[in-house]
Amino acid sequence: MNWTATTVFVLLFLLVTVMGFVAARWRPGDLNRLDEWGLAGRRFGTVVTWFLLGGDLYTAYTLIAVPALVFGAGALGFFAVPYTLLVYPFVFLVFPRLWSVSHRHGYITASDFVAGRFGSRTLSLAVALTGMFATLPYIALQLVGIEVVIAGLGFHAHGFVGDLPLVIAFAILAAYTYSSGLRAPALIALVKDMLIYLTVIVAIIVIPIHLGGYGAIFRAIPRDKLLLAPPSGGNLGAYSAYTTLALGSALALFLYPHAVTGLLSARSRKVIKRNMALLPTYSVALALIAVLGYMAFAAHVATNPSYAPYFQRYGPNFAVPALILDQFPSWFVGVAFAAIAIGALVPAAIMSIAASNLFTRNVYRDWFHKSLGGAAEARVAKNVSLILKLGALAFIIFLPTKYAIQLQLLGGIWIIQTLPALVGGLFTRWFHAKALTAGWLVGMVVGTAMAATQQFQSSIYALHVGDLTVPGYAALYSVVLNFLVVGAGTLLLDLVGARRGTDETTPEDYLLERDEVPAAGGVDAEPDVIM
């Protein structure tokens, strides 16, 4: 046991635990209402939304899995950098429309919008279930980060005793999420981001000094890990894999329920636009974090006998914790490990809230209890959030994974299948609901089958076009097929005169600012402010 690091870690963990419970009194509202518990009353300004989205999107996955992929696979792991740069112009142009129409009609989830736009409970259910199933492995991904750093502190026991610290962390997360809703991760995100920035800034200065400078670090990396392998023999290889991973991930990121929840909690569409201009600063930090994978390789942490048991159990996911243990004093190890663990708690809380909102609104209420509302609706969402976190915990304890990043990529294959209904629906009503449902089904089956051919160890599928082989992200390939089915199906259904559902929105709904209309959820219009 590293007692100094553990003490610092526990103290910081206790700090955010207290903040999580105090958050219930921050910007107080009636937490027995789903829009207050699950969206914090839609009152967050630019600064809070920036921290919330940053905490939501840049997670333990950022600090653990991205450097792990760079450590193991080399330059391919840097696909995460361009994809986070591509996503913000896309969101800037598209998602303020979702905020406006959701604010006008009181929508809490993406499925609420799909149901209102296309008048189809079946399509809404498909979007809701997809969001839930894509989110569960994403929550598990965060728990992997906690598990890895807890092991790095020296918890070697196996079985229940070995899993006990993870169970305790889960219980704390579950308790403050239940009591405070979205306010808890929003408040904790402020501490989380400060710790992560501190860790990254210190790491990129101190570690190169210890290793002889950046030149020495890059000289220690084999050429095949520094550069993508060029195409050869009609095979585009890593070039097409890198490009499609970046593009597909960019299209998928803000379709996730937790990203939608973060956007809808903003007080105005102006807040969303400001954040799309500010959030690329996180991409700079992400590039530096990815380089930690090369630093770990240059430091030869994988050949250090002290870390051998950890690498045997966690694979490349232990690269960054091993690097931190190798390069820093124990007190800073505690700070860095706390940053990773808290970086897992914030998104895990938001994800569980977002998924429970989907289940409550678009599965339980729409299909089993149409009269559900008010306090009962909020109570169901709170209980479901506990069940989802428990499921993610069981997933990690009983089904450990070698590359945590693959869980997120598999979820990306599923969530991107909602792109035609959600993003397409924000701009056009031409798509037919039945065609969208058929396209979704085809995309889900084909995308999952592509991943299955790789034994779910990779989301890269080799597409053969004549004599040309184009390895690429299965999510992007499958959603293209999804769109083709939607287009062809819509033409066919219109040809036979198939009835369309009722659209409850109007063109003006997609352009409204906060101060132009009160929210249907009950929040009165207020002037736009920074916080």
The per-residue DSSP string of 371-426 comes to T--HHHHHHHHHHHHHHHHHHHHHHHHHS--S-HHHHHHHHHHHHGGGHHHHHHHH
481 CB burial (10 A radius; 0-12, 13-18, 19+): middle
* Contact present, 293 and 70 (Cβ < 8 Å): yes
Domain 3-94+117-250+265-405 has CATH 1.20.1730.10: yes
Average pLDDT, whole number, for the chain?
88
Residue 162 has a pLDDT of 65
Is the pLDDT higher at 495 or at 13? 495
Which of 503, 450, 508 shows the shortest CA–CA distance to 480? 450
Q: What would the mean pLDDT of 287-301 be, rounded to a whole number?
A: 94
CA distance 451 to 297: 28
CA distance 364 to 387: 14
CA distance 379 to 13: 27
Residue 160 has a pLDDT of 62
* Contact present, 276 and 49 (Cβ < 8 Å): no
Which of 77, 76, 83 shows the shortest CA–CA distance to 228? 76
* Contact present, 337 and 343 (Cβ < 8 Å): no
- Helix pair 433-453, 404-415: axis angle to 10 deg: 150
| Statement: residue 519 has pLDDT above 70 | no
- Residue spans of the domains in the chain: they are 3-94+117-250+265-405
Contacts (Cβ under 8 Å, ≥6 apart) of 340: 60, 63, 64, 145, 146, 148, 149, 320, 321
- pLDDT per residue as tens digits for the range 311-357: 888 888 899 999 999 999 999 999 999 998 888 888 888 999 999 99
pLDDT band of residue 232 (cuts 50, 70, 90) is: confident
Residue 513 has a pLDDT of 82
Question: Please, where are the H alpha helices in 254-329?
Answer: 257-264, 269-278, 280-298, 308-314, 319-327
Contacts (Cβ under 8 Å, ≥6 apart) of 281: none
Q: What backbone phi and psi angles, to 5 degrees, belong to 461?
A: -120, 130
Terminal-to-terminal C-alpha distance of the chain: 42
CA distance 180 to 31: 7
Neighbours of 290 (CB within 10 A): 21
Q: Is 365 helix (H, G, I), strand (E, B) or coil?
A: helix
Residue 117 has a pLDDT of 97
Residue 516 has a pLDDT of 55
Residue with tokens 């800073």: 332
Q: Is 498 helix (H, G, I), strand (E, B) or coil?
A: coil
Pairing of strands 460-465, 468-473: antiparallel
The pTM is what? 0.91
The partner residues of 472 in beta bridges, in order of sequence, read 461
Q: Is 119 helix (H, G, I), strand (E, B) or coil?
A: coil
Cα dihedral sign, 489-492-498-502 = positive
pLDDT band of residue 372 (cuts 50, 70, 90) is: confident
The partner residues of 235 in beta bridges, in order of sequence, read 232, 469
CA distance 438 to 432: 10
pLDDT band of residue 301 (cuts 50, 70, 90) is: very high
- pLDDT per residue as tens digits for the range 427-471: 999 999 999 999 999 999 999 999 989 888 888 999 998 889 999
Residue 457 has a pLDDT of 80
pLDDT band of residue 521 (cuts 50, 70, 90) is: very low
Of 95-104, 250-259, 455-464, 466-475, which gets the smallest average pLDDT? 455-464
Q: What would the mean pLDDT of 361-382 be, rounded to a whole number?
A: 90
Element (H, E) at 471: strand 468-473
Element (H, E) at 469: strand 468-473
| Statement: residue 141 has pLDDT above 80 | no
Sequence-distant contacts of 395-399: CB under 8 A, at least 24 apart = 395/136, 395/137, 395/140, 395/143, 396/140, 396/143, 396/144, 396/147, 396/166, 397/163, 397/166
Residue 155 has a pLDDT of 77
Q: What would the mean pLDDT of 66-85 be, rounded to a whole number?
A: 89
